[in-house]
Amino acid sequence: MFEENNRNFISSSAGADAGIIAKTFMSQVFTWMTLAMIVTAGTAYWFASSEAAIRSLINAETGGLTGLGWIVTLAPIGFVLLMSFGFQKLSALAMTLLFIAFSVLMGMSLSFILLVYTAASVFKTFLVAAGMFGIMAVTGYTTKTDLTRFGSIMIMGLIGIILAMLVNYFMHSSSLEYIISILGVLIFTGLTAYDVQRLKRIGAGAGEYGEENSKKMSILGALTLYLDFLNLFLFLLRFLGNRK
């Protein structure tokens, strides 16, 4: 009886420790994500408010992107790939610096939004996106349901809308764009819950990975949730944004 109670106590203690580690890990993830959003928002506002900064991105004569504008637009994709596939080789410091640089580049890229949409509608859309993201994040963290299969469906849906967006780039169909926007909102809303649950499970075992890898995983997790929120915001903006 004593041995059985002792085993139950040890098992309960281990479960409690895993829960604490998971909470600490998720706290780091959301802290990094919040910091990145602040950096992005501040950079976007500064660029949109500076005529010289905008001219460095947009050719005043043709209205097209300058060389720097193209770099700012495409570079974030490279940063995401570098952080994702270079996880094993990069240090925690390198991951952190790349994530901050990525946040700045995204802010420069998103400054165009403040030139196209009214500030009030952008702020309103941000609040709606934040509310939806928060609800789904809490759902993903607290639900006992395994969202793995659900997440797989969402990922397949994401691949589908990427292909649809490429097709619509040539078709210029407003109806297809509307459908893509609806699906985009639904998919990234669902992915938020799935990714939070997945990160919670990763966080529960973070103590076994070592401090260095745990820091890197928190940065990569923050990047994942950052992209979920950003895409949710951008798809919502197509519905809620008021053009100038």
Q: Residue 18's pLDDT is what? A: 64
pTM, two decimal places: 0.88
Q: Is pLDDT larger for residue 63 or for residue 169? A: 169
Confidence bin at 199 (pLDDT 50/70/90): very high
Q: Residue 184's pLDDT is what? A: 94
H/E/C letters for each residue in 123-152?
HHHHHHHHHHHHHHHHHHHHCCCCCHHHHH
Domain assignments of the chain as residue spans, ordered by start: 2-240
In this structure, are residues 190 and 136 in contact, taking their beta carbons and an 8 Å threshold? yes
d(C-alpha 41, C-alpha 129), whole Å: 14
Q: Is pLDDT larger for residue 49 or for residue 138? A: 138
CB atoms within 10 A of CB 114: 17
Task: Name the phi and psi angles at 58, rounded to 5.
Answer: -120, 130
Asked if residue 4 has pLDDT above 60, the reply is: no
Residue pLDDT, tens place only, 35-87: 999 999 999 999 888 887 778 888 767 767 888 888 888 889 999 999 999 98
Q: Residue 49's pLDDT is what? A: 87
Q: For the chain, what is the mean pLDDT?
A: 87
Instruction: Calculate mean pLDDT across residues 115-139.
Output: 93
d(C-alpha 232, C-alpha 220), whole Å: 19
Of 121, 87, 76, the closest CA to residue 220 belongs to 87
